[in-house]
Structure 1
């Protein structure tokens, strides 16, 4: 089994059989808002807003790019590789939120990317984001992005 598949199975196993929270719940609205605002900033090269949503102890797992555990390196990569070059779109109807008691939530869904430099579009791909509730709102602590 590929390491990323094993990691996904370990992360998602506890959620099998658990229903996502209602789209009307405050938790769903808060996590959806965090995702929306982070990726609006991602699409507009607003690094200050992106910084506010990224935890200091970030672990970002990318099937093509590997593991990143440095928030400063992540922000640098976003500035150098994403700003004005890539746009992200959430695939409608795929966003799910699952509560993690006394911690935060897991958001899962599909998204696609538009490479503005090459004018190409990716196929919808899976993502998993673990959000920790903090005094400053929800922060992304673990992210898995698959293509």
Structure 2
């Protein structure tokens, strides 16, 4: 057990470590965000807060997955691609990692288009502002037959959206915890004569 002198020395080490840490620089960086190469990004207008931020992110999610769900149309696939940064990093617990927009779009073209559609799970979307950069979107989604049929899988996701003027693009995405949905309970056969 530390005595008073030991506690004081420990406290001094913590204070010195904190002063020497990049924490103070980090606080300044929050005021002047850096781009991916470390250069200061231009000042951005303030992000909306509360319900307005939730509405903004729900709109971005709808744009992204409306085009995803219709990606058999080349124009929709191009629209989908435009919502990702060129250097997007996409981490998928079943499919691996895509390090560029080109690789991600190629994977969507080969593995998604015409095979299933994505639905956002109602009430699951959460949005968190990232000052000077954009917003983090977190939620759950399910995957269903493309013709409007039954849903067969569910997963969770995180997307980091970067705002550049009026344009929003996903820079990082994680899609994980994929699992099958339970089969719907079979309806019992009606009793004879009913």
Equivalent pairs counted in the alignment come to 124
Identify the match of residue 37 of structure 1 among 63, 75, 91.
Answer: 63
How far off is 1:65 after superposition?
A: 1.1
Report the equivalent of 1:28.
Answer: 54
1:92 matched to 2:122: yes
* Structure 2: gaps spanning 5 or more residues: 1-48, 179-194
Higher relative contact order (CA 8 A, sep 6+): 1
Greater strand fraction, Structure 1 or Structure 2: 1
Counterpart contact for 2:88–2:171, Cα < 8 Å: yes
How far off is 1:122 after superposition?
A: 3.4
Superposition pairs for residues 50-89 of structure 1, below 5 Å?
Answer: 50-89=80-119
- Work out the CA distance in 2 between the residues paired with 1:43 and 1:116: 8
* Structure 1: gaps spanning 5 or more residues: 1-20
Report the equivalent of 1:107.
Answer: 137
TM-score, with normalisation over the residues of structure 1? 0.77
- Work out the CA distance in 2 between the residues paired with 1:54 and 1:104: 13
TM-score, with normalisation over the residues of structure 2? 0.59
Counterpart contact for 1:31–1:138, Cα < 8 Å: no
CA deviation string 1:70-108 (max 9, x = no partner): 211111111121111110000000000000011000000
- Work out the CA distance in 2 between the residues paired with 1:41 and 1:74: 14
- Work out the CA distance in 2 between the residues paired with 1:67 and 1:48: 20
